[in-house]
Structure 1
């Protein structure tokens, strides 16, 4: 770190944000490889990075476009909701004992909450209030629950803060990840998983600040399709290994 020890994010599209999204996707795939029938429990640890980094990407997009026209944000929400529906069947085919919805409804509600905090218009505030209420009432049906919905907002709140403020979204991330179950299990994987949740926001913010010169492929709207597709590909892999 240098200068004022803050972690700002640029206003123009930069490779760091695309890199964050690709790394989040990779973390998610690693996490879900645990379900292909091999003994890969250790992948739980890098898998804990996926959700906070997707939340950070949402916060980064909101931060960068905070004064832009709202149409883009409605489109963003629309794509999340559309692929929430499209992904549910592949998700349940692959995670056979799933007791929550797929992750996209959580991210969509989180987007509404963070945007309501940022924009302050009556419509945005009203939608944020509805989203928080849905998150509270249906917490057990949502992947990462109530605190998962709050995580994009927690990320947004620390963008212009000193680096140590990342402890706030770190704690929210821990709360979203069944920390009681992990603590009670006491295994090394569980403890490392908790640590990964705690440090994921800071790691993501550092990446956004310092990886400005990277230029991975831009992750555009087609990337939404990677979510349901990866379930189908991993399901095919499980059939091959069976």
Structure 2
């Protein structure tokens, strides 16, 4: 395994938010077949649970998301965890030949929660640095089922989009109606005058991984590569 090396924060992509001061970060690089060293066609930041959930459909959907990303020449950006849906989507992306960029705080690495076979595993000091780097490395964002951490990440990038800090598409994958109650609450907020339809329309909502991912990637200005299995 390569030794951790000091790197500079950031990826130089198009996010317009003000940059904080430098943060300490380590990068662990892994070695994979040549296909994983090819520049990815696009990067999808996936937010999801560190638990598998009660229904096997959640893991099946996370696996389908990872296979779609890797199978269409993409790159997964995620929180670097090895458990629950996080580990499932990362494993599936690697299985399909895609790159996986994990970003995880040092405190979680010390609890042995990190997925150490990511293509790149960035170990950072704080949660704020983690979320900033994930946002910078992504072309689009997708939330799968998860707990309060997943929802916090979704609402943060949604708010940033509302305020004009980025123009990257945001998606919500509503697996087996998991987010039905949340969507109903948000529509109630619109009815009560605290939100409007424009804000709701900033998030693309779907219940099938393939069509939603295609929509998000195309909205980000990219054309997914043909699925290698279909060639």
TM-score of the superposed pair, with normalisation by structure 2: 0.30
More strand by share: 2
The structure whose RCO (Cα within 8 Å, separation 6+) is larger is 1
TM-score (norm 1): 0.29
Greater share of residues in helix: 1
